[in-house]
Amino acid sequence: MIYTIIDVETSGRSNKLTEISIFKYDGSKIIDEFTSLINPELYIPDYITALTGIDNSMVANAPTFSEIANTILSFTKDCIFVAHNVNFDYNAIRNEFKAINIVFNRKKLCTIRLARKLIPGHKSYSLGKLCKALNIRIVGRHRARGDAEATVILFKMLLNQENAEIVFNDFLKKSSKEATLPSHLSTSVFNNLPNTPGVYYFKNKKGKIIYVGKAKDIKKRVLSHFYSKAKKSLAMCRETADIDFTLSGTELIALLMEDAAIKQHYPEFNQVSKRTPKMYAIFSYTDRKGIIHIAYNTLKATPNPILTLNSITDCREQIEKICSQFELCPKYYHLQDTVAKCNHFKIHTCKGICEDQETFKQYNKRVINAIESLNNNLKDVILKQKGRHEREDAFIMIEKGTYLGYGFIDKNEHINNTEDLETFLIPQKDNSDIQKIIRNLIM
């Protein structure tokens, strides 16, 4: 069996190659080598130069990837692709081939995952720290040839470990997930994930949550991240060192849990739902003349909201609807400002309160009816859900259109009314994202 032990340097976020080094290894000795700088055809950032020492002048006259692509293809043909954190190097190279419309597929092995299995117990499996612990000298750290040569020595050491043949063969099986899992993630952590609904949390080496997701099958969904070739997924997988999870019973409760967790932890790789959306509210007040007004403002600035909504547009649409239905005045419904009397382009049902053609008592009766109509449309709802196991039920509680939270109850509990349920409620915050989730459920 022939191995090509590879290391690449890249330009940073754009992940264009700036250097590649490949050692062809037959299991006992190096039989060939290919090393080259590569012109990425874009600017190399200063922080990358500081790390690798490769600057723009060094690559100015170097070949582009397309110029050495055939060499790399032939050099790695019928060989096992080996690297330290193999998914990074493999995907960086494969993306370069993809850009020039060439398919690149090789069997691969990761020396981080092999080392975790064959020489367990080290505090860190980064190339620098592992080599230091094993007395492997790296000549030219963060340069492709130096790191690749050190990986060759490490690889030879791994080949000579007890049970190495069994471990290598297991990792190379098509059904094996070892090459797919993030290099810093223990196989046992992945194997412990359940095939049930819930929320999962990707964590980095420091234990910080970097991504929150929900799924009806946690294990299956997590694995799909590791197969993804999107830049965001690749970057996230490189950071992932642990995965935690919380069971939900149903996908709907998982969705509610996910929203709350994202807004609590602000994970780096979650782009949606990080910001708590601003909510708006319809409210009423009485002016000095005794006329009841209906208006809207942000929920935060509204002491006694009648109805909470997602946007100013939603507020105006609701007010226009009620204004027409109950023959109210657009001026006192704050659909028109700074006007002596209403002249709304769409609503012409006003009976003249703005021109003193009816008493405020007559007008207020219709306003009160309108407010009652809004209140009556706000339902108290208990949504029954499946529990996290067969001995349990779950529920979602909504009061007058406001989401209060969810809960789990043992099936042996006797529940007679809503107050009994509140004992088991896990309180949650309502927001416009949650309202979008539950709106269709309570219509």
In eight-state DSSP terms, residue 63 is: P
For residue 425, list its beta bridge partners: 407
235 vs 432, which has greater pLDDT? 235
**What is the residue type of 46?**
D
Residue 298 CA to residue 209 CA, distance in Å, equals 31
Residue 36 CA to residue 68 CA, distance in Å, equals 9
* DSSP H helices in 108-202: 111-118, 127-133, 144-159, 164-172, 187-191
Please say if the pLDDT value at position 276 is more than 70: no
Confidence of residue 331 (pLDDT cuts 50, 70, 90): confident
pLDDT on residue 271: 79
Please say if the pLDDT value at position 334 is more than 60: yes
Please say if the pLDDT value at position 442 is more than 90: no
Q: What is the mean pLDDT of residues 187-208?
A: 94
Percentage of the chain beyond pLDDT 90 is: 59
Q: What is the mean pLDDT of residues 1-8?
A: 96
| Dihedrals phi, psi of 318, to nearest 5 degrees | -65, -40
pLDDT on residue 46: 93
- Report yes or no: 226 and 276 within 8 Å, Cβ to Cβ: no
- Sorted by where each starts, the structural domains of the chain and their CATH numbers stand as 3-172 (3.30.420.10), 187-265 (3.40.1440.10), 280-377 (no CATH), 381-442 (no CATH)
Confidence of residue 406 (pLDDT cuts 50, 70, 90): very high
In eight-state DSSP terms, residue 327 is: T
Please say if the pLDDT value at position 246 is more than 60: yes
Compute the half-sphere exposure of residue 43: CA atoms within 13 Å on the CB side of its CA. 3
pLDDT on residue 272: 64
Residue 111 CA to residue 241 CA, distance in Å, equals 16
pLDDT on residue 443: 53
For the CA atoms of 209, 219, 230, 2, the dihedral, rounded to the nearest 10 degrees, stands at 110
276 vs 180, which has greater pLDDT? 180
Please say if the pLDDT value at position 52 is more than 70: yes
| Dihedrals phi, psi of 396, to nearest 5 degrees | -120, 135
pLDDT on residue 277: 67
Confidence of residue 229 (pLDDT cuts 50, 70, 90): confident
Model pLDDT for residues 343-363, shown as the tens digit of each residue: 777 778 888 888 888 899 999
* Helix, strand, coil share (%) of the chain residues, nearest 5: 40, 20, 40
Please say if the pLDDT value at position 402 is more than 60: yes
Confidence of residue 437 (pLDDT cuts 50, 70, 90): confident
Residue 397 CA to residue 220 CA, distance in Å, equals 29
330-to-188, 270, 342, 372, 392 alpha-carbon distances in Å:
65, 42, 6, 19, 51
DSSP-derived 3-state class of residue 86 = helix
**What is the residue type of 162?**
E
Q: Which of 110-114, 199-203, 227-231, 379-383 has the lowest mean pLDDT?
A: 227-231
Confidence of residue 300 (pLDDT cuts 50, 70, 90): confident
Confidence of residue 179 (pLDDT cuts 50, 70, 90): low
Q: What is the mean pLDDT of residues 287-298?
A: 91
User: First and final CA of the chain: distance in angstroms?
Assistant: 64
Please say if the pLDDT value at position 260 is more than 60: yes
Q: What is the mean pLDDT of residues 99-109?
A: 93
Average pLDDT value over all residues in the chain: 89
Q: What is the mean pLDDT of residues 29-51?
A: 95
pLDDT on residue 170: 87
pLDDT on residue 273: 58
- Angle formed at CA 25 by CA 20 and CA 27, multiple of 5 degrees: 150
Q: Under 8 Å CB-to-CB from 384, ≥6 apart: which residues?
A: 393, 394, 395
> What is the H or E stretch that residue 293 is in?
strand 292-298
Q: Under 8 Å CB-to-CB from 3, ≥6 apart: which residues?
A: 24, 25, 26, 27, 79, 80, 82, 109, 155
- Report yes or no: 291 and 234 within 8 Å, Cβ to Cβ: no
pLDDT on residue 397: 92
Q: What is the mean pLDDT of residues 180-187?
A: 83
Please say if the pLDDT value at position 328 is more than 70: yes
pLDDT on residue 401: 76
pLDDT on residue 115: 94
* DSSP H helices in 62-110: 65-76, 86-99
pLDDT on residue 431: 79
- Report yes or no: 319 and 293 within 8 Å, Cβ to Cβ: no
DSSP-derived 3-state class of residue 250 = coil
